[in-house]
Chain A
Amino acid sequence: MTRFLVRRLIYLVVVILIATVLVFTLSRLSGDPRALFLSEYTSQADWDAWGREMGLDKPYVFQYAIWLGKAVRGDFGVSLRDQTPAFGVIVSRIPATLQLALGAFVFALVTGIPLGVLSAVKRGSAWDYIGRIFALLGQSMPAFWLGIMLILVLAVQLDWFPTGRRGGITHFILPSITLGWGAAAGFVRLIRSSMLEILDSEYIKFARSKGVGGPTIIWKHAFKNAAIAPLTFAGLLLAGLITGAVVTETVFAWPGLGRLGVDAVFNNDFPIMAGVVLIVSVMYVGVNLVVDVAYALIDPRIRYG
């Protein structure tokens, strides 16, 4: 287990380092960082002095090291738009994104698991079709469009829910559905297929012939085993939810990381954008690591594989 952990941790660091190299390269491509302070009173001497101060006269590797050192300490530079430290702006947006991702995850679990199990147990019945159509819709509707249509019908026409922004519990419902439906679709499909396979297995038949009752067979004997496959998916999914939030936050004017990133694109605010990418990458890779470890704890084959 220790070896497994160490290997995964090294891998995590490598991924994050590569992400930083990518962001750094792009940041240098986006222009000379001195250009920001350039005014009509800047002399060539000032320009060179800034260059030395910022380490721009050194090779790129050094510049990268300086930049990385700052980034690790939470210094992503100053937001070009409102001249405040980018790090603070970014951190203040994290809770909103996490809440949204959590809401969507809950929606996916609450709808996906029962529908997946039902459509496998009652194969060919109306439930099966409901489950499969639900999955098909979730897989194929563009999230941004779904969000707008939900706003149009449920918020504008029927006025049941607010059209966006953060607030009470009602503010959570539409964004959670928008972000979570795709994930729920994945759950339905995975749970349905693994349940079907397991319900057909010898040990379920044995349990049945032994006289074990319906719900016990379904939940205790079959579902517990069928849940392993969707578990890895749950990890990918949670990570996907964090990035998928970009779209949902844009549609619902949700003040999270994704919306911050998209706004930064339009304001050409590179320090914010770079910070968002780095922080989201770290979260993304971190979540994946946690899931991998959890999975290895449950299934020994992964640990030694």
Chain B
Amino acid sequence: MDNVLARPFARGANWRKLWTFFRRWPVLPVLVFAALVVAAIFAPLLAPSSPTEGNLEFRNEKPMWYPEGSSRFILGTDALGRDVLSRVIYGARISLLIAAIVLGAGAIGGTMLGLVSGYYGGQVDEVAMRFVDLTLAIPFILIALVVVIVLGQSLAIIIALLVIFSWNGFARQVRGETLQLKTMDYVSLARVSGATTSRILFKHILPGVTNTVIVVATLRVGSLILTEATLSFLGVGVPPPTPAWGLMVSDGRQYISTAWWITCFPGVAIFLTVVSMNFLGDWLRDRWDPRLRQQM
């Protein structure tokens, strides 16, 4: 008798448990991110066809769930007969590669500057922070357009441009943290006992700012991938025929009324990547560094 009564409660409790688990841990974002990394690393094994070689016999083929579609091209083909799915998979490579290089360089450069600026204070700090303001005050996309006109389009230039505009967030946050950490007793003690400045910065202060750096990096991935995609879309990003997501969206634009899948799926890939990274970033921030909430 009590069994019958207890059962719905028990089931409700299980659902609730599952729900709490999903709310507590970023399961879906981690899965999406893992899928992305796998796709990027094993692209040649996963992609059913070549991302750059098209077959003009199969131009604008519909995705497989259409009656006319075939299972050979799961997400259809583009105007040059290239498999959309394969291009999306290879696109993960480009996006992640750029994001990793740019964030790595930006994090290292920005952290160094932030440490020095926060630790020394005074004129050094003033100059460094005005410089940070400056990179925030100049409209980035337009500058990128001009630079690409002059220097031409290449992967290296895009990466360099993105690096120049990605370190400022790190510098600012790390500086703020350093300002607080340097007043700590253990830092004064280290100085009194004769530690060199570089030892204090790297051994005593750097570990204290690592969490912030990781949080800022995660929060930045999303906007970085969006910016890269935007540049590619405008035709000044990664040069074709490299399968970059932004480029694919722009390639499909002129066929939008007849072949929507060329444009839609790369955009979905960008969206899923950015959503999951933003989610992870928020989650990490709330766990590790809730003070950042006001600023980011």
Using CB atoms and an 8 Å cutoff, list the residues of chain A in contact with chain B: 11, 15, 18-19, 22-23, 26-27, 29-30, 136, 139-145, 148-149, 151-152, 156, 193, 229, 239, 242-243, 246-247, 250-251, 261-262, 264-266, 268, 270, 273-274, 276-277, 280-281, 284-285, 288
Contacts and interface: CB of A to CB of B under 8 A. Distances in A.
30 contacts: A11-B130, A15-B137, A22-B138, A26-B149, A29-B150, A136-B279, A139-B222, A140-B274, A140-B278, A141-B267, A141-B274, A142-B246, A142-B270, A144-B229, A145-B266, A148-B253, A149-B267, A152-B263, A242-B139, A246-B141, A247-B234, A250-B233, A265-B235, A265-B236, A268-B149, A273-B146, A277-B139, A277-B142, A280-B139, A280-B142
A148 B249 contact: yes
Interface in B188-242: 222, 226, 229-230, 233-236
Nearest to A23: B146
A112 to B, nearest CB: 17
B151 A29 contact: yes
B271 A19 contact: no
A277 B222 contact: no
B145 A139 contact: no
A152 B139 CA distance: 30
Contacts of A149: 263-264, 267
Contact of B145 (A27, A30, A265, A285): A265
Q: Tell which of B140, B222, B253 has the most Cβ of chain A within 10 Å.
A: B253
B161 interface: no
B267 A156 contact: no
Query: DSSP class of A's interface residues: helix, strand, loop or mixed?
Result: helix
B265 to A, nearest CB: 10
Nearest to A289: B137
Nearest to B279: A136
A151 B249 CA distance: 14
Nearest to B293: A193
B229 A156 contact: no
Contacts of B233: 142, 144, 247, 250
A185 to B, nearest CB: 10
Interface residues on B, range: 35 or more
A288 B150 contact: no
A140 B291 CA distance: 23
A280 B137 CA distance: 11
Contacts of A265: 145, 148-149, 234-236
Interface string B130-172: 1001100111111101111111000000000000000000000
Contacts of B250: 144
B71 interface: no
B260 interface: yes
A40 B140 CA distance: 40
A239 B139 CA distance: 9
Given A26-B147, A139-B278, A149-B267, A285 B142 contact: no
Contact of B146 (A141, A145, A243, A277): A277
A262 B145 contact: yes
Given A148-B263, A273-B145, 5 more contacts: A136-B278, A144-B229, A243-B141, A261-B145, A281-B138
Contacts of A251: 253
B260 A152 contact: yes
Contacts of A30: 149-150
B258 to A, nearest CB: 10
B281 to A, nearest CB: 11
A277 B143 CA distance: 7
Contacts of B3: none
B275 interface: yes
Contacts of B246: 142, 144
Interface in B254-296: 256-257, 260, 263-264, 266-267, 270-271, 274-275, 278-279, 293-294
A108 B58 CA distance: 43
A29 B68 CA distance: 52
Contact of A243 (B140, B236, B278): B140
A247 B144 CA distance: 13
A277 B148 CA distance: 13
Contacts of B257: 152, 156
A279 B138 CA distance: 11
B183 to A, nearest CB: 19
Q: Report, nearest first, the 4 A-B pairs whose CB atoms are least far apart.
A: A145-B267, A140-B274, A140-B275, A243-B139
B146 A26 contact: yes
A253 to B, nearest CB: 11
A146 to B, nearest CB: 8
Nearest to B263: A148
A270 B145 CA distance: 11
A63 B149 CA distance: 21
Contacts of A142: 226, 229-230, 233, 246, 249, 267, 270-271, 274
Contacts of B142: 243, 246, 261, 276-277, 280-281
